[in-house]
Structure 1
Amino acid sequence: MNLHDMTAWSERNRDWLSARLGYWRERLRALADDDAHDDACGLPPDDTGDGFRPAAHRLAAAFRLSAFETELLVLAAGVEIDAALGDAVARAQGDAAQRAAGVRFALALELLPHAHWDAISPLAPLRAWSLIDVDTSAGHARAALRIDERVLHAITGVEAFDERLAGIARALDVAPDIACPGIADVIAGALATQPETLIVLADARLDAERVRAGRWLAACALRRAGLRALWLDVAALAGDAREAAGIARRLAREARLSQAGVVVALDGDASAHDATVTRFAATLNAPTIVLGAPSTRTLAESDRPVLRFAVPRMRAVARGDLPVHVLTATRRALHQFHVDPALLDQALRTAAHLGDNDEDGAERTLWHALREAARGGLDALAERIDSGTSLDDLVVPGFVAAQLREIAAHLRHRQTVYDDWGFGRGQSRGLGIAALFAGESGTGKTMAAEAIANAARLDLYRIDLSGVVSKYIGETEKNLARLFDAAEASGAILLFDEADAMFGKRSDVKDSHDRYANIEVAYLLQRIESYRGLAILTTNMRSALDRAFLRRLRFIVQFPFPDARSREQIWQRQIPRDAPSGRIDFAALARLQLTGGSIRSVALHAAFRAADAGRAIDHALLVEAAQIEHAKLERAMSTTHNGSPQ
């Protein structure tokens, strides 16, 4: 239903409800006057002949209400929103001073047609679905009936969400013009023919990529079934059984009021909590999709029929209203980044607004939006490095530059090789890229990682080893699992500085600590091999790395100590164009045995000295800074009589 149709329906629903409440005002007036012709005009007609269905009738169909129960809801709503009707009801009940008491059941039995006593029994829809609140303290006949606030909004046609579900569930729509996987139609058909069917989307290895693909598939299937999606926060189910039952009732009611299905994502660690969540999902009286791998035994405890589906990888998306270049860019971006459906749709709309005249701008906007959306929780687990370094900024030998450009090429063309050409079919390991950057400190290893990340337009995260490795047995693997799962979604490049501290040689087993340390190394090797992105490891001591790990590397790049010609180029690039500079003998400075990192440190030190002295950066200041750097490195630096390096 588009915005115009929704507005038109809302206006007609308001008119219908106003006429209905007006009729009951007159009926109550006639009863008060003892008018024998009080019902001569009759109820306003329901059938308008054009297919219009007021909200009250939609509620009746959704909750299978009788005509009496439906009219009782209308009357209870009228007491809340129509002051005149509320006063008339209070007078008819003989408690004009207690209008807030609501509608008494005795009045409803006398006033409304087709009355039946079991309408407010605990198992009848009005109470079973908490459509009304019933106060029976004064007896069954004088029970006071009040309509629930969420149901009041529904019957008046007001868009709403049960505030008691805030923090427990949230609504999410998928744009109808986004093409979904073919399996979504099968799931939608099952939900349409048997709404009580429990749909389970599971996979042998439900990693971060599959979780997002599963959420996308669930949203698509519900959309195809004409339903919205309600995402359940399973952490909210940590309370007792009574509280969980209340949540289940409100959630199922919200699903019917908003025409939605419920999606429940398991934690995936086969914990007791997962079993509790699965039982909760199995008891929901609403279309339900479980994302995860619940145990067969837990599902067997439910009487609901169960259908299982494997979760495909989310490879591509298509919208008929988008330009071809945006669709092409989307497929490429989704191969790299895994994002939630709502964020993807938002990015698509932004890119589409740029129009056909700015193809590059649309592609950059889409890539940037999905790159940011996919970061998820990785920022909390590692340090993101922002740098403008390019491959052309590196001063390295030609063979090193060629290797770095080849790594960037592998990143750019993975989709073509693995998907389009079929090299990745049937493979789950070895599709990522693992590279080792070896060389002395300051030879450009981290800078090279920054340049590759910028060339591939990907985030670069430096892994803090102290935050990953734990002295407690088993905690290191958990930390690494969280890290790699978050990285899988973001498509980021991982940089493990001083990798020999983590990926060192496995020791002989002498005690339990040695055994668990070796298990940690083995786990690292397995995750590195299965990681679909680029993992870069840097080391100053290549010989210290485990040989089993070296066999799993696709690239090993050795960064040599820069020669004199390279050092001269590095010196020349250290003085920015905007910085004041005097006479500098770069050839003389190049004779100093310093790495690029040390040269950068010398240049910065000289720049601050120049700023403090109010002078330009010249050769003398650079030599003085170089002497400080050599002292820091505990090396001797000989100079000529004029202060130049010798």
Structure 2
Amino acid sequence: VIARSRQIVADDERFRGLYISEQDVDALMKEPFGHPRWLRNHHDDNATVYLDTYQNIAKCISKKEEESRKHGITLRLSLLRERFGLESFDIDALLICLAGEIDLRYERLYAYLQDDVTKKRPCIDLVLNLLVSSPRERLSKREHFAPTSPLIRHRLLEYVEDTSTPKPSLLATYLKIDDRITAYLLGSDELDARLNQFSRTIDCQRNFSSLIIEQQLKNRMQGLLQKWPDTNGSVLYLQGPYGVGKQPLAEALCSQLGLSMLVINLDGILCDDHVACQSLLELIYREARLDNYAIFFKGIDQLTEEHSRALLDAFIATFNERPSLTFLSADSQWKHLSQLQRFPLLVIDVPLPDAQQRANVWQQALLANQIQYEQRELIQLASKYKLTPGKITEAAGTASRLAHWHDAKMAEISLKELHEACRLHSNQKLSELARKIPPKYRWRDIVLPQDRLEQLRDICHFVKYRSRVYEEWGFDHKLALGKGLNVLFAGPSGTGKTMAADIIAGELGLDLYKIDLSTVVSKYIGETEKNLSRIFSEAETSNAILFFDEADSLFGKRSEVKDAHDRYANIETGYLLQRMEEYEGIVILATNLRKNIDEAFVRRLHATIDFPFPDEVDRRNIWERIWPESTPRASGLDLDMMAKRFEITGGNIRNIALAAAFLAADDTDEVNMVHI
């Protein structure tokens, strides 16, 4: 500043900075290349004193830095240098820009040095003039302000737009230190405000022993720490259903590594511009580098072209910029994962805990609500509803609120409320693909031969004791597929197939979804498989019984393959069988035409239950049970005659009884034979 004040050459102080005089031009022509004007022929005793003072201060600062290191104190400026790979020149450039954020006097000084009162921020040319003295060094240091340099690439310094010069040269570009970097250097640990809507930080304190995951996975993760000590840049892809414990697993790993975690909810990043998306991702990576965070990207499987093409492209393009250990969390397979294979990627499946572990979670969640159940009841509940630990905790809270709603005084959680809460926290998206049938029938409502009733009860036993057979008795290790139950209901229309499925769902407390296969099957190649895939994918987390009506539309007897249509029809059938074998719940197929079903398919099902046309005795029982207790009936109803004379199914009997009731409501106060 002193040197600059000695070298003013304008003719008239009143117009300095407003025009370029001939004397200025002459002086500029005589300047050596790359030298600041105010250093020309400059000999000033005061300047020498100031320079000596500067050097003494620099030595004092270095000494204090050394003392801080000896006492285990790490200065933020030193951390910034280390984590962003900065040089001493970069630090000095940062400090020049930081000065104006701390003391406004520097704005006037920078304007004075740049010969323009409106230029209150330092331009790159000024920074170079202040920090370098030789033309060669000036050219080399110029690259420190290029877009690819650490200062600019990591957004430590920003280019400031000058409205008076739309496209300035690099040297004429003005600089500003980023607000988050200023706050960090001044001692703030607050997250960058631009990330608040979709980010949060976690001080990881979990340990592996507290995790509700299978022991084998715990052992592997702990072994990973020993065999993979340098995790910088590593990518762990954690895949498993919502609430299974992916984030707690990542927290436990970070706790062992002494890292905190920056959690990013990708659904919360709302941008449809590639540049804006890239800017946000750069801020995320800078924040992680700034405070040495591991990054946890939540919901990576939702990052698709449909969600945001711009964000997807920006994510893949900038992924190489991530500074440290990175977790990608997904409920299902991410179709773009292959594009990250060039990075040190490890895919980890986080499975659903077994029924015993889920029962333990239920016990803890209910105890938190001051409710206690026997372990046997909780294991049966866990077997029926394959909820993740996260969803179990949520369901327990929902059950408590339902109990208060039903009886505010007692507020005791009953099994009915637990079942209702479980259904509410199961995946409800299946309703978009199938019709949900609320259970309303009971065992007393259905009339079937005794052996058929026993077969239906066996289906319920399968669900109730599944965990004992598969997990406690070890059959889980003997079967790769086929852990669900696939049953065929065959019989004429109206013989009770849908009612039986309804009763089973009600007995087990599960949702029942009816899918009409005739609407699923498409004439367009590949569409049938796509429809079935969506149904089974949603059903896996719905804890529901799937009831496929009109099964013969897909399982009809195979004919000789004569054209492409026949070949793809067989492919569709095979695909349905494959998905049925993979599904671990109950699948019921219903058909009115048993003889039309290919025997090869029937043999691959676990059971076939025939619903016979009711004989006279069964018809008499149906006529008796069809009437609600509150329905007024004449004493002269001859139900024996109706059963003997009319050979009809239970469905027809129900329709007749309902029609008679409406006739009676319009005519008299009770149902009589005339109405029937």
After superposition, the Cα gap between the structure-2 partners of 1:141 and 1:554, relative to the gap in structure 1 and judged at 3 Å, is: same
TM-aligned CA distance change 1:400 to 1:327, over 3 Å = closer
Q: How far apart, in 2, do the equivalents of 1:62 and 1:327 lie? A: 52
Paired letter, 1:260: I
Distance 1:607 1:381 in 2: 35
Contact 1:76-1:146 at 8 Å conserved across structures:
yes
Would the alpha carbon gap of residues 299 and 142 (structure 1) be closer, same or farther in structure 2, given more than 3 Å must change? closer
Structure 1 residue aligned with 2:325, among 278, 282, 287? 287
- Which deviations, in whole Å up to 9, do the C-alpha atoms of 1:370-421 show, x marking residues without a partner? 4333325322211111122223332222222111111110111111111111
| Contact 1:197–1:305, Cα closer than 8 Å, also in 2 | yes
Contact 1:326 1:363 in 2 (8 A): no
For 2:297, the aligned partner's letter is: V
Task: Find the partner of 2:282 among 215, 235, 249.
Answer: 249
CA contact (8 A) 2:396 2:421 kept: no
Matched, 1:556 2:608: yes
1:145 aligns with 2:171: no
What's the counterpart of residue 675 of structure 2? 622
State the match for 1:567 in structure 2: 619
Q: Distance in 2 between matches of 1:279 and 1:597?
A: 58
- 2:453 aligned residue: 401
The 1:251–1:570 alpha-carbon spacing in structure 2 relative to 1, beyond 3 Å, is farther
Name the residue aligned to 2:394: 346
Equivalent positions of 1:117-196 (< 5 A) are 122-135=147-160, 137=168, 140=171, 143-145=174-176, 147=178, 156-158=188-190, 162=194, 176=206, 178-180=211-213, 181-182=217-218, 183-186=220-223, 193-196=230-233
With over 3 angstroms needed to count, the CA separation of the structure-2 counterparts of 1:588 and 1:513, relative to structure 1, is same
Match 1:224 to one of 235, 253, 260 = 253
Q: 1:230 Cα shift?
A: 3.4
Q: Indicate conservation of the 8 Å contact 1:248/1:280, yes or no.
A: no
Deviation at 1:425, TM superposition (A): 0.7
Distance 1:435 1:351 in 2: 32
Structure 1 residue 532 corresponds to structure 2 residue 584? yes
Compared CA separation, residues 431 and 187, structure 1 to 2 (3 A): same
Percent sequence identity over aligned pairs: 30
Q: Which amino acid aligns with 1:543?
A: K
Count of residue pairs the alignment pairs up: 561
Aligned-partner Cα distance in 2 for 1:412–1:492:
14
Match of residue 608, structure 1, among 662, 665, 670: 662
Q: Equivalent residue of 1:384, what SS?
A: strand
Q: Secondary structure at the match of 1:622?
A: coil
- The alignment partner of 1:590 has SS state of helix
Name the CA shift for 1:382/1:153 in 2 (closer, same or farther; >3 Å): farther
- Measure how far apart 1:462 and its partner are: 0.7
> Contact 1:443–1:559 at 8 Å: present in 2 too?
yes
Whole-Å separation in 2 of the counterparts to 1:603 and 1:340: 45
Q: CA deviation at 1:533?
A: 1.0
Q: How far is 1:122 from its partner?
A: 3.5
Whether 1:504 and 2:562 are equivalent positions in the alignment is: no
Aligned to 2:39: none
TM score, norm. by length of structure 1: 0.68
Which residue number in structure 1 is paired with residue 236 of structure 2?
Answer: 199
Judged with a 3 Å threshold, the aligned counterparts in structure 2 of structure 1 residues 234 and 90 are, in CA distance, closer, same or farther, namely closer
What SS does structure 2 have at the residue aligned with 1:472? coil
**Paired letter, 2:296:** G
Residue 474 of structure 1, CA deviation: 1.7
| Corresponding residue to 1:464 among 491, 516, 519 | 516
Distance in structure 1 (CA, Å) of the matches to 2:236 and 2:262: 16
Please state how far the C-alpha of 1:600 moved relative to its aligned partner. 1.9
CA pair 199-525 structure 1, distance change in 2 beyond 3 A: same
Distance in 2, Cα, partners of 1:397 & 1:375: 36
Extract unaligned runs of 5+ from structure 2. 1-49, 132-140, 162-167, 256-260, 405-409
Q: CA deviation at 1:61?
A: 7.5
Asked whether the equivalents of residues 456 and 500 of structure 2 are also in contact (C-alpha less than 8 Å), the reply is: yes
The alpha-carbon deviation at position 71 of structure 1 amounts to 10
Compute the displacement of 1:523 (Å).
1.8
Change (3 A) 1:281 1:163: closer
Shift of residue 508, structure 1, vs aligned partner: 1.0
Change in 2 beyond 3 A, CA 1:321/1:620: closer
Residue type of the partner of 2:174? A
Residue identity matched to 1:377 = K
C-alpha distance in 2 between matches for 1:391 and 1:289: 50
Q: Do residues 385 (structure 1) and 437 (structure 2) align?
A: yes
Q: Could you say if the C-alpha distance between residues 191 and 462 of structure 1 is closer, same or farther in structure 2, counting changes exceeding 3 Å?
A: farther
Partner deviation per Cα, 1:124-151 (whole Å, 9 max, x = no partner): 5443223453227486477231535799
Where in structure 2 are the equivalents of 1:79-90 lying within 5 Å?
Answer: none
Q: What residue number does 1:15 align with?
A: none
Change in 2 beyond 3 A, CA 1:105/1:504: same
Are residues 489 and 150 of structure 1, via their aligned partners in 2, closer, same or farther at CA, if it must alter by over 3 Å? farther
Q: Which amino acid aligns with 1:347?
A: A
Determine which structure has more spread, i.e. the larger CA radius of gyration. Answer: 2
Contact persistence 1:463–1:496 (CA under 8 A): yes
3-state SS of paired residue (2:670) = coil
Deviation at 1:325, TM superposition (A): 4.9
Asked whether 1:486 is paired with 2:515, we answer no
- How far apart in 1 are the matches of 2:232 and 2:590? 55
Change in Cα spacing, 1:325 to 1:108, as seen in structure 2 (3 Å) is farther
The equivalent residue for 1:212 is 241
How far apart, in 1, do the equivalents of 2:94 and 2:629 lie? Answer: 77
Shift of 1:464: 2.9
| Candidates 327, 344, 352, aligned match of 1:305 | 344
Deviates more, 1:246-255 or 1:70-79: 70-79
Distance 1:390 1:162 in 2: 57
Would you say the 8 A contact 2:613–2:649 is kept in 1?
A: yes
TM-score of the two chains, using structure 2 as the length reference: 0.66
Q: Distance in 1 between matches of 2:633 and 2:423?
A: 40
The one-letter amino acid paired with 1:145 is K
Is the partner of 1:361 in helix, strand or coil? coil
The code of the aligned residue for 2:672 comes to: H
2:297 is the counterpart of 1:262: yes
Contact 1:79/1:102, CA 8 A, preserved across alignment: yes
Tell me the secondary structure at the aligned position of residue 675 of structure 2: helix
Deviations along 1:499-538, one digit per CA (max 9) or x if unpaired, are 1112111111111111111121122222222321111111
| 1:147–1:470 Cα change, 3 Å | same
Structure 1, residues 237-259: CA drift from partner, whole Å, max 9, x if none? 9987x787556534434555675
Report the CA distance shift for 1:537/1:307 in structure 2 as closer, same or farther (over 3 A).
closer
For 1:624-644, what per-residue CA distance to the aligned partner results, in whole angstroms no more than 9, with x for missing partners?
xxxxxxxxxxxxxxxxxxxxx
Identify the residue that residue 543 of structure 1 maps to in structure 2: 595
Aligned AA for 2:671? D
Structure 1 partner of 2:647: 593
Q: CA deviation at 1:444?
A: 1.1
Check the 8 A contact 2:157/2:175 in 1, yes or no: no
Matched, 1:517 2:552: no
Q: For 1:249, give the aligned amino acid.
A: E
Deviation at 1:543, TM superposition (A): 0.7
**1:179-199 deviation per Cα after TM superposition (whole angstroms, max 9, x unaligned):** 344144445677873121233
Cα gap change, 1:306 to 1:497, in 2 (>3 Å): closer
1:14 corresponds in structure 2 to: none
Q: Is the 8 A contact 1:408 1:455 kept in 2?
A: yes
